[in-house]
Amino acid sequence: MPGPTVVRFTARVVGRVQGVGFRDYVRTRGRRLGLVGTATNMPDGAVVVIAEGGAPACQNLARLLVTGHTPGWTDRVEVVWQRAQGDLADFRRK
């Protein structure tokens, strides 16, 4: 039986998401879900999350970003779904 479909998403998270442990939260949750990716602070105060792995796990992480049960708070989360690229090896905080 084949495994889950592998997908990728990029999420731009706007709100109070820098300096509050948000990237560490995303990295920890992503690793627990078996995902690879990055959580990167942007100059405008947003955080960009790129995650890749099984579709159910990616959907779970994207849902966590949107629900707001994260350090700080989120005002807006823009998620773009893409094909997996296979260029990530771990979940990192940048």
Catalytic residues: 23, 41
- At 27, the amino acid letter reads R
**Which is nearest to 52 in space by CA: 1, 8, 83?**
8
Cα dihedral 29, 76, 13, 46 sign: negative
